[in-house]
């Protein structure tokens, strides 16, 4: 699995489709010379584009599909129209059949999530997948999940997210013991949503080989207080978009301020190198890509509005996870957790029986 | 109510207590020469400080209290220890007795919320107050509520938040018809939490004199897409703290980048004016202060860690609302909404009765 990775790409996905995916794949090819691509989509669009990237063409196979999923289609519509025949479906299906180690799509998030779930199925004990995002922080990067795959999560699902996110952090950040926190409105154990408090109790008591930090708050995301931040999809999605919006807002303030006077313009020119570094740090493209966790296969979701560079970052993320054999590791961790939990329950049952005997 | 406002201040509240509150009140006094203050707290601390601000002293009355609420006390503890005898309790109580038009405290948020609820009571039809924050945006400022007074809200409560936030936006921003949105994970009507979808339906159908925009997402907060953003306290608190954390994170990136090379340092010096403007825009002190809405009185919560300037901004906010007679306006709006709703329900009941008659 480590060498000669094959990557399935939904070449029709994203606001700009193949015009963005093909050059993006070419950037990824430069980084990983031993990679192969399966490009799913309209060959009349893909093949002429590939001619411009002969080295990419040499390591790619085009699989023609007739249907492309609309970016704003509802998941149910997408499934009706795109089952078996769409580029997105076939790209995901290539992972199921072992033809590819992972799939990357910049297409419709809801459709990708539903198709991936139908095709790859969720792992044992997992009801619903989570979408994990890479979050830039003052300490480096963290993983935040769920950022919007599903809405609401009970305490068991939050613990599953913690187990999956922790395994991903080991793979993607090469950490031995990532620190895991639960997103809440206060650090004290008595505060917050019942599901979150209960998940905290489970994580403390579960005896998992995991460094559980406790609760974190919204401002801990940017600080990088923990390596993995666990939350349910509604709050996670709003936190992610709030941070993106705030970054854009400050960039706009900065742009306005620097173009206000002659002095500030000269200052800007002198400090151009510094601004370039700042821009890179704030560039959402450098950390583009979320991953659906909890499925029997690696599915990477790139931003729909990204460019070739951002798409290549999403491919990077998938390659890191495939090389680390993330799916096997997550399956093992979940088995260890849920296996242990079942034993505990059996223990409780015994206890109950003993009490019953004593009472009767 | 418009002239000669009297403001009750919890002089013991905040990380620095009277050392911050007294100079803060002095800044506010400069802005509003016709204002009076009631300062609640330990006179042995307050009176010597007041000596340094003779003009403030001239318009202030000190009311001695023996107890100060700890910043990290649980609300229940605070209530047990501080009922009647604490600076916070007595400052809020001054509003109930009409001795002050509003109260400002930088103390323990949970304690202030509980005491304010016990003393002032919630308005008719309102079960739980909301904490409304002023949010800086690219278009100016918006009101976001609830940012953490209570966790969870059903659709009726979300509509109440919308009615109260809209009245506050008219008062604080001097807008005739503020635009109101519901925070959600997608703009489409089919997406999101059931409570939020149901609140959206109620707002569209309620025939309120309100400009309801529809759903907004996390990145609309910074854009300023609407004047009032409605959400429940868990998500609102996490969004607020995420935005604050992101702003601090980018300020840190900027500081690092500008001190990296000689050129960037010179550039920084030349562009100092621009950076000062940026700093002001990003300064949380200039928009310091949340307001508890849904109570029979104006209660302003200043950040605990703020300085004198920030505290004065919180006083500003309260003065704007008192001058606009916000409480009366909110009460009228709620009456109009719930009055109408009660009629509707009566109508539904009639409908039901008719159906029953037909079925029997």
**Beta-ladder partners of B38:** B8, B61
pTM of this prediction? 0.87
Q: Per the CB < 8 Å rule, is A248 touching B222?
A: yes
CA atoms of B118 and B295, how far apart (whole Å)? 10
The beta-carbon neighbor of B250 closest among A190, A245, A247 is: A247
Q: Is B348 on the interface with A (CB under 8 A)?
A: no
The Cα of B242 is separated from the nearest Cα of chain A by a number of Å equal to: 4
CA atoms of B281 and B349, how far apart (whole Å)? 53
Closest CA to B230 of B135, B323, B336, B316: B135
Residues in chain A: 360
Phi, psi of A79 (to 5 degrees): -70, -40
B305 CB-contact burial (10 Å; exposed 0-12 / middle 13-18 / buried 19+)? middle
Q: Per the CB < 8 Å rule, is B218 touching A148?
A: no
Q: Per the CB < 8 Å rule, is A247 touching B244?
A: no
Dig out the tokens for A340 from the structure.
């242990």
Residues in chain A where the model's pLDDT stays below 70: 1-3, 187-190, 282-287, 340-360
Site of tokens 């040499």: A58
* Interface test with chain A among B71, B78, B219, by most A beta carbons within 10 Å: B219
Q: What is the residue-averaged pLDDT of chain B? A: 88
Residues with Cβ within 8 Å of A263's Cβ and at least 6 positions away in sequence, in order, are B270, B271, B273, B274
Helix B109-120 × helix B75-82 angle, to 10°:
60
Reduced to 3 states, what is the DSSP secondary structure of residue A171? Answer: helix
Query: Which residue in B has a C-alpha nearest to residue A109's C-alpha?
Result: B186
Query: Which residue in A has a C-alpha nearest to residue B152's C-alpha?
Result: A193
Neighboring chain A residues of B277 at a CB cutoff of 8 Å: 257, 260
| Strand B211-216 relative to strand B60-64, pairing | unpaired
pLDDT of residue A341: 57
CA atoms of A173 and A320, how far apart (whole Å)? 9
* CB contact at 8 A, A221 and A244: no
All domains of chain B in start order, with CATH: 1-121+295-324 (3.40.718.10), 134-287 (3.40.718.10)
Neighboring chain B residues of A217 at a CB cutoff of 8 Å: 237-238, 241
pLDDT of residue A353: 39
The beta-carbon neighbor of A151 closest among B192, B247, B252 is: B192
Neighboring chain B residues of A254 at a CB cutoff of 8 Å: 254, 278
The helix or strand, by DSSP H or E, that contains position B355, with its residue range, turns out to be helix B326-359
Cis peptide, bond prior to residue B84, ω within 30 of zero? no
Under DSSP, the state recorded for B132 is: E
pLDDT of residue B111: 93
Interface of B with A in 64-123 (CB under 8 A): 74
Query: Which residue in B has a C-alpha nearest to residue A281's C-alpha?
Result: B253
Query: Which residue in A has a C-alpha nearest to residue B194's C-alpha?
Result: A151
The beta-carbon neighbor of A239 closest among B242, B261, B282 is: B242
pLDDT of residue A343: 44
The helix or strand, by DSSP H or E, that contains position B37, with its residue range, turns out to be strand B36-41
Please give the C-alpha separations between residue A87 and each of A8, A47, A95, A306, B288, in angstroms, as whole numbers.
10, 15, 13, 19, 51
Residues in chain B where the model's pLDDT stays below 50: 1-2, 342-360
Please give the C-alpha separations between residue A109 and each of A71, A160, B285, in angstroms, as whole numbers.
8, 21, 38
Dig out the tokens for B255 from the structure.
């500081």
Site of tokens 């009101």: B143
CA atoms of B342 and A118, how far apart (whole Å)? 46
Q: Is A246 on the interface with B (CB under 8 A)?
A: yes
CA atoms of B217 and B182, how far apart (whole Å)? 8
CA atoms of B225 and B212, how far apart (whole Å)? 12
Query: Which residue in B has a C-alpha nearest to residue A265's C-alpha?
Result: B271
A297 CB-contact burial (10 Å; exposed 0-12 / middle 13-18 / buried 19+)? buried
In tens, the pLDDT along B94-133 reads 999 999 999 999 999 889 999 999 999 999 989 889 999 9
| Strand A130-137 relative to strand B179-183, pairing | unpaired
State the ipTM, two decimals.
0.85
CA atoms of A151 and A148, how far apart (whole Å)? 7
* CB contact at 8 A, A294 and A129: yes
CA atoms of A325 and A2, how far apart (whole Å)? 8
Closest CA to A239 of B244, B182, B291, B152: B244
Dig out the tokens for A280 from the structure.
């890179």
* CB contact at 8 A, A152 and B193: yes
Q: Is B267 on the interface with A (CB under 8 A)?
A: yes
User: Which alpha helices (H) appear in B271-307, and where do they start and end?
Assistant: 272-282
Closest CA to A28 of A291, A322, A318: A318
């Amino acid at each position: 699995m480590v060498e000669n990775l094959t990557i399935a790409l939904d070449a029709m996905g994203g606001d700009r489709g193949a015009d963005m995916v093909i050059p993006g794949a070419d950037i990824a090819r430069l980084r990983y010379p031993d990679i192969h691509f399966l490009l799913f989509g309209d060959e009349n669009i893909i093949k002429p584009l590939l001619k411009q990237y002969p080295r990419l063409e040499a390591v790619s196979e085009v699989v023609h599909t007739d249907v492309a999923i609309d970016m704003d289609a509802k998941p149910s519509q997408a499934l009706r129209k795109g089952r078996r025949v769409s580029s997105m479906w076939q790209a995901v299906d290539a992972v199921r059949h072992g033809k590819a180690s992972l799939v990357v799509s910049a297409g419709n998030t809801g459709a990708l999530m539903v198709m991936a779930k139908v095709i790859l199925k969720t792992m044992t004990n997992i009801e619903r997948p989570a979408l994990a995002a890479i979050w830039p922080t003052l300490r480096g990067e963290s993983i935040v999940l769920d950022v919007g795959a599903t809405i609401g999560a009970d305490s068991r699902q939050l613990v599953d997210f913690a187990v999956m996110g922790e395994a991903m952090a080991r793979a993607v950040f090469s950490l031995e013991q990532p620190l895991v926190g639960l997103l809440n409105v206060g650090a004290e154990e008595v505060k917050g949503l019942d599901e979150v408090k209960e998940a905290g109790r489970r994580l403390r008591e579960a005896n998992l080989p995991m460094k559980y930090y406790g609760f974190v708050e919204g401002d801990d995301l940017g600080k990088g207080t923990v390596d993995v931040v666990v939350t349910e999809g509604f709050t996670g999605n709003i936190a992610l978009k709030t941070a993106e919006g705030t970054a854009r807002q400050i960039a706009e303030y900065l742009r306005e301020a620097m173009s206000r006077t002659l002095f500030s313009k000269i200052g800007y020119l002198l400090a151009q190198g510094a601004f370039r570094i700042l821009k890179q740090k704030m560039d959402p493209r450098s950390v583009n890509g979320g991953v659906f966790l909890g499925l029997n296969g690696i599915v990477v979701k790139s931003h729909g509005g990204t460019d070739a560079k951002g798409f290549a970052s999403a491919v990077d993320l998938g390659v890191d996870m495939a090389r680390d054999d993330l799916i096997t590791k997550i399956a093992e961790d979940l088995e260890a957790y849920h296996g242990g939990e079942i034993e505990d329950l059996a223990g409780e049952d015994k206890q109950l029986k003993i009490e019953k005997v004593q009472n009767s």
